[in-house]
Amino acid sequence: MPTPPLAGRVRALAPSATLALTALARELKERGEPVVSFGAGEPDVNTPEPVIEAACRALREGKTKYTPSGGIRPLREAVAEYLHTRFGLAYAPEDVHISVGAKHALFNAFLAVLEPEEEVVLFSPYWVSYPEMVRLAGGKPVVVPTSPERGFLPEREAFTAALTPRTRAVLLNTPNNPTGAVYPETVLRQLGEVLAGRDVWVIADEIYAELVYEGAHVPFPRAVPELADRTLLIGGFSKSFAMTGWRLGFAAGPRELVRALDNLASQSVSCPTSFVQYAGVAALREALGEVERLRQLFASRRAKMLAALAEVPGVRFAPPGGAFYVFLDVSPLLEAGGFSDADALARALLEEEKVVVVPGTSFGAPEFVRLSYAMGEEEMLEGIARLAAFARRRVMSA
Ligand SMILES: Cc1ncc(COP(=O)(O)O)c(C=O)c1O
Q: What residue segments make up the domains of the chain, in order of their start?
A: 8-33+289-393, 63-287
Q: Which of 152, 239, 372 to mutate to test the pocket of ligand 1 (most atoms within 8 A of CB)?
A: 239
Task: Using the mean position of ligand 1's atoms as its centre, give its distance from the Cα of residue 102 in Å.
Answer: 6
CA distance 339 to 327: 18
- CATH number (3.40.50.10860, 1.10.3720.10, 3.40.50.1820, 3.90.1150.10) of 8-33+289-393 reads 3.90.1150.10
In degrees and rounded to multiples of 5, residue 334 shows phi and psi of -60, -45
Ligand 1 nearest-atom number relative to CA 177: 1
Strands 368-372 and 358-359: antiparallel
CA distance 44 to 380: 12
Angle (CA) 73 80 226, round 5°: 135
Task: Using the mean position of ligand 1's atoms as its centre, give its distance from the Cα of residue 258 in Å.
Answer: 19
- For residues 377 and 58, the answer to whether their CB atoms sit within 8 Å is no
Task: Using the mean position of ligand 1's atoms as its centre, give its distance from the Cα of residue 238 in Å.
Answer: 7
CA distance 85 to 129: 30
Task: Using the mean position of ligand 1's atoms as its centre, give its distance from the Cα of residue 207 in Å.
Answer: 6
Secondary structure (3-state) at 120 = strand
pLDDT attached to residue 11: 86
What b/e readout covers 218-248, taking b as 16+ CB neighbours within 10 angstroms? Answer: bbbbbbbeebbebbbbbbbbbbbbbbbebbb
Task: Using the mean position of ligand 1's atoms as its centre, give its distance from the Cα of residue 249 in Å.
Answer: 9
Which residues, at least 6 apart from 139, have a Cβ–Cβ distance to it below 8 Å? 110, 114, 116, 117, 118, 119, 120, 168, 169
Q: Using CA atoms in the order 184, 123, 125, 219, what is the torsion angle rounded to 10 degrees?
A: 30
Task: Using the mean position of ligand 1's atoms as its centre, give its distance from the Cα of residue 234 in Å.
Answer: 10
Ligand 1 nearest-atom number relative to CA 18: 14
Sign of torsion over alpha carbons 365, 373, 290, 274: positive
Q: Which of 106, 128, 129, 269 to mutate to test the pocket of ligand 1 (most atoms within 8 A of CB)?
A: 129
Check residue 14 and report its DSSP letter: P
Q: Which of 172, 233, 238 to mutate to test the pocket of ligand 1 (most atoms within 8 A of CB)?
A: 238
Q: Which of 19, 124, 173, 207 to mutate to test the pocket of ligand 1 (most atoms within 8 A of CB)?
A: 207
Cα distances from 354 to residues 325, 339, 346, 349, in angstroms, run 19, 18, 10, 6
| Domain covering 63-287 assigned CATH 3.20.20.70 in the classification | no
The residues lining ligand 1, judged by C-beta closer than 6 Å to any ligand atom, are: 41, 101-103, 127, 173, 177, 205, 207, 236, 238, 244, 249
pLDDT attached to residue 305: 97
Where in 211-289 does DSSP place strands (E)? 231-236, 249-252
Q: What is the pLDDT along the chain (398 residues), one digit of tens a residue?
A: 889 999 988 888 877 767 777 778 888 889 999 999 998 889 999 999 999 999 999 999 999 999 999 999 999 999 999 999 999 999 999 999 999 999 999 999 999 999 999 999 999 999 989 999 999 999 999 999 999 999 999 999 999 999 999 999 999 999 999 999 999 999 999 999 999 989 999 999 999 999 999 999 999 999 999 999 999 999 999 999 999 999 999 999 999 999 999 999 999 999 999 999 999 999 999 999 999 999 999 999 999 999 999 999 999 999 999 999 999 999 999 999 999 999 999 989 998 999 999 999 989 999 999 999 999 999 999 999 999 999 999 988 77
Ligand 1 nearest-atom number relative to CA 244: 9
Run of H or E residues at 135: helix 129-136
pLDDT attached to residue 100: 98
Angle (CA) 206 211 216, round 5°: 80
CA distance 93 to 96: 5
CA distance 241 to 232: 22
pLDDT attached to residue 14: 75
Nearest CA to ligand 1 atom 1: 177
* Alpha carbon distance, N-terminus to C-terminus of the chain: 55
pLDDT attached to residue 19: 73
Task: Using the mean position of ligand 1's atoms as its centre, give its distance from the Cα of residue 61 in Å.
Answer: 30
Cα distances from 114 to residues 64, 161, 169, 227, 255, in angstroms, run 34, 20, 8, 19, 17
CA distance 70 to 264: 9
Nearest CA to ligand 1 atom 16: 177
pLDDT attached to residue 22: 76
DSSP track, 24-76: HHHHHHHTT---EE----S-SSPPPHHHHHHHHHHHHTT--S---TT--HHHH
DSSP track, 302-360: HHHHHHHHTT-TT-B-----BTTEEEEE-HHHHHHHT-SSHHHHHHHHHHHH-EE-EEG
Ligand 1 nearest-atom number relative to CA 127: 1
Task: Using the mean position of ligand 1's atoms as its centre, give its distance from the Cα of residue 232 in Å.
Answer: 15
Task: Using the mean position of ligand 1's atoms as its centre, give its distance from the Cα of residue 6 in Å.
Answer: 27
